[in-house]
Amino acid sequence: MPKKSIQILIPSGITYIRIILAPILFFTVINNFILYSICIFVLAVATDAIDGYVSRKLDLASSKGAYFDVVADFILILSAFSGLVITGLYPFWLIIIIVFMFLQFIITSKFQIPVYDPIGKYYGSFLFIVIFISLIIINPILNLLLTILIVIFTVISITSRFLFMLKNKDDKLDKKIR
């Protein structure tokens, strides 16, 4: 096996750790093992930073790797929020919003010209911050505020994505007219 083929397993392996940690995080959250939840979550987020760093350092960055990274992020985020919903910190419909956002990312990333969403690229990071805050500070008013912020961030991201698609469509029309 060539050296590059073996090296590509390193960032992917680190990403797999995040996927493995997701159900463990879910278990610790629903069983109210707060300290374990925080430690597991911090470790999982660290793997997100490390896999990106390693893939760039070894010059292994690829669209497939980036896609896999987003899927791993989604699994972690969905696991954490599912646990937080089960414990009553967040409403169930928040899961629907998160799944919708991931699905629209998947669908629009398959377009011939990928949809660039300057707001949406920070959506996962924003949700990571919300999860971390929710694990360290359990407060119904704060959770309500974070829920509202998630809805606002989601609407802004969807609007940004839609405007990009419209602008891209207009640019194509202008080129055809010329």
Write a three-state SS string for 123-164. Answer: HHHHHHHHHHHHHHCCCHHHHHHHHHHHHHHHHHHHHHHHHH
The whole-angstrom separation of Cα 118 and Cα 160 is: 7
What is the residue whose two structure tokens read 């629209």? 104
The whole-angstrom separation of Cα 89 and Cα 142 is: 10
Tokens of 22: 């997701």
CB atoms within 10 A of CB 35: 9
pLDDT digits (tens, 9 = 90+) for 13-58: 888 999 999 999 999 999 999 999 999 999 999 998 898 888 888 7
The whole-angstrom separation of Cα 44 and Cα 3 is: 27
* Cα torsion angle, 21, 24, 29, 34, sign: negative
pLDDT digits (tens, 9 = 90+) for 95-112: 999 999 998 888 777 765
Domain count, the chain: 1
Residue 83 has pLDDT above 90, yes or no: yes
pTM for the model stands at 0.86
Mean pLDDT of 57-86: 87
**Half-sphere exposure at residue 153, Cβ-oriented, CA atoms within 13 angstroms:** 22
Dihedrals phi, psi of 115, to nearest 5 degrees? -85, 120
CB atoms within 10 A of CB 121: 13
Residue 178 has pLDDT above 60, yes or no: no
* Cα torsion angle, 154, 148, 73, 93, sign: negative
pLDDT, position 104? 84
Domain holding 64, by residue range, is 3-177
The CATH number given to whatever domain includes residue 147 is: 1.20.120.1760
